A = this chain, B = another copy of it.
Amino acid sequence: MAPRNAFYAQSGGVTAVINASACGVLETARKYSDEIRAVFAGRNGIIGALTEDLIDTSLESEAAIAALKHTPGAAFGSCRYKLGSIDEQRAAYARLIDVFDAHDIGFFFYNGGGDSQDTAYKVSQIGAELSRSIVCVGIPKTVDNDLPITDCSPGFGSLAKYLAISIREAAFDVASMSATSTKVFVMEVMGRHAGWATAACALAAEQDGDAPHILLLPEVDFNEERFLAKVKESVQRYNHCVIAVSEGVKSSGGTFLAASGTTDAFGHQQLGGVAPVITGMIGDRLGYKCHWALPDYLQRSARHIVSETDLQQAYAVGRAAVEFAVAGRSAVMPAIRRLSDQPYRWDIVEPPLAAVANQEKLLPAHFIVADGFGITDAARRYLAPLIVGESYPPFRNGLPDYVKLHNAAVPKKINTPFAI
């Protein structure tokens, strides 16, 4: 059978290692030249497929492709765009098939979180329904670590490492100044629904008294009185208190704590986080001097300090996706299976996309301690191996030497535009 082209796209919020998955896909596809002619990447994710804005990755040098392994962001552009059901958006799915037909695309690789796995699943369905031979493989990615089945999601281990390092470093700062300055430090971390990132901060603590002293998880209803009592106790015992708070912490009424609806002195709407709310509360009620940090995108883009374990897994799922595809497996997603905690061993398994799509894995109850402000040893055993190992990017002039690809467009073959 003649080789066909492949489509690859990156979707949703980026990670420090999603380009390592891209690297795994592209390097592996180049090895299977009997089956895969060229890999066309969607510019800005699935939007690139819908608008026939494809990037010819075969024009990139081997060195540039290899450099993806140490470059954050999404090299081909990502998007926040969710395809609805096939019934609702039949025109969009038909358009995808038209574009894939026009460019002889026989393989569809979609690299993203739960929504993206859902899209990959739907594309596999429409392909089958329209009798188009297209092999669809999802590639897991999300800093939120909320994909089901896979033991962890590529991207999360590096976020976890960055956050645990950052809170440890900030805690050294606060502890050394607490006699006359800041007593409470709050770091706000990603994870609107699932507390994996917040939980990972706890890895910074190894002994009694080590920071962080309190976690505020989105899985646990926030109770102001119990929280303030815990802060007070920490300050009394350790003379300072370091807190990791999930952006998605909610009160028992189900409303987000994050500041909203406030305006600043200029009358502009204030885009707030939860950290200023928490520190405001502590300052008002307990009178402690507080500081807070909001790393925002820094936490999911910190390629300079990724987890080597995470990096290897990100590459491995990209490579496995191509291997699955050329073996004719469709509607699957390479997933990480844990074989043992210590020594940490894992391999790649092959769950169906149908089982992965549109689910959200929260912190299980047995990972959260009784008072809700920390994690259990079971959680620690789960999290610990994911942050192990360093893989530094090359540096030039004191800065990481990240690659920007040429991203040359594949000439269009369809003349009709498509409105997004």
Residues of A within 8 A of B (CB): 10, 13-14, 16, 44-45, 47, 71-81, 161, 164-166, 168-170, 172-177, 179-182, 185, 187, 203-204, 259-266, 268-272, 276-277, 279-281, 283-284, 290-298, 300-305, 307, 309, 384, 387-390, 392, 395, 397-400, 402
- The count of identical subunits is 2
CB neighbours (8 Å) of A276 from chain B are: 264, 270-272
The answer on a CB contact under 8 Å between B75 and A161 is no
**Quick one: given A279-B271, A281-B266, are A399 and B168 in contact (CB under 8 Å)?**
yes
CB neighbours (8 Å) of A10 from chain B are: 176
The answer on a CB contact under 8 Å between B398 and A389 is yes
Q: Which of B174, B271, B384, B398 contacts A307 (CB 8 A)?
A: B398
The answer on a CB contact under 8 Å between A81 and B180 is yes
> Nearest chain-B residue to A272 (Cβ)?
B276
Q: Which of B74, B78, B169, B260 contacts A302 (CB 8 A)?
A: B169
Q: Once bound together, how far apart are the Cα atoms of A45 and B164, in whole Å?
A: 28
CB neighbours (8 Å) of A177 from chain B are: 13-14, 74, 77-80
The answer on a CB contact under 8 Å between A271 and B297 is no
The answer on a CB contact under 8 Å between A297 and B293 is yes
CB neighbours (8 Å) of A390 from chain B are: 392, 395, 398
Q: Once bound together, how far apart are the Cα atoms of A177 and B14, in whole Å?
A: 8
The answer on a CB contact under 8 Å between A164 and B399 is yes
> Nearest chain-B residue to A403 (Cβ)?
B172
A271 to chain B, nearest CB (A): 5
